[in-house]
Copies of this chain bind each other. A is one copy, B any other.
Amino acid sequence: MLPQGVAIDSRTGIVSPSTTVYEKRLSEFRGVYSDTAALDALIASKGDLVTYTVSERKDPGTDIFFGTTVMQPGRVGEEYFMTRGHFHARRDRGEIYYTQSGEGLLLLQSRDGEIRTVEMKPGVCASIPPDWGHRSINTGTEPLVFVWCCNQDAGHDYAEIATRGMRQLVVQRGGMTAYVANPKYEA
């Protein structure tokens, strides 16, 4: 690769030029959100909405890469729109999430089920240690945009979180953001 400048729009999260862009839609999250009836109702009424978009800049011949995630505001029942959540395949690889706009929560979980959160707001750079699962959640009313950076060989392990979710759910109740135990996790 040669040195290059890649423009990041802190409002839209557009990475130009990017190497890969993918979108995640509501229908891909059956079993991820706890309220499946609410998910089906939302798809029936609003269509199969894109909840988040990931834009990557990954160049051959270097170790690290970066990109953006743009998480739309919204909820499925009580639960805010969120990413699937993942551990890295390599247990020695961390990651950095640098919030550009919007507001949200980074929900983290260690392999033994310890939960931590980091507030996501413009200017906060969240440091995700190796072997902590992580999920970003838009608790605001605007798109949540963050730049992430990690080693290209970190890889993804979605299985752990896909099976029973994370220990806590982040929900809106009575107009407030609340953490509640995830019954599926404890089962």
Contact = CB atoms under 8 A, between A and B. Distances in A.
A6 B125 contact: yes
Contacts of A119: 5
A116 B1 CA distance: 12
Given A98-B8, A149-B149, A3 B127 contact: yes
A4 interface: yes
B3 A116 contact: yes
B151 A125 contact: no
Given A93-B63, A116-B3, A10 B129 contact: no
A119 B1 CA distance: 17
A175 interface: no
Contacts of A129: 1-3, 59, 61-62
A35 interface: no
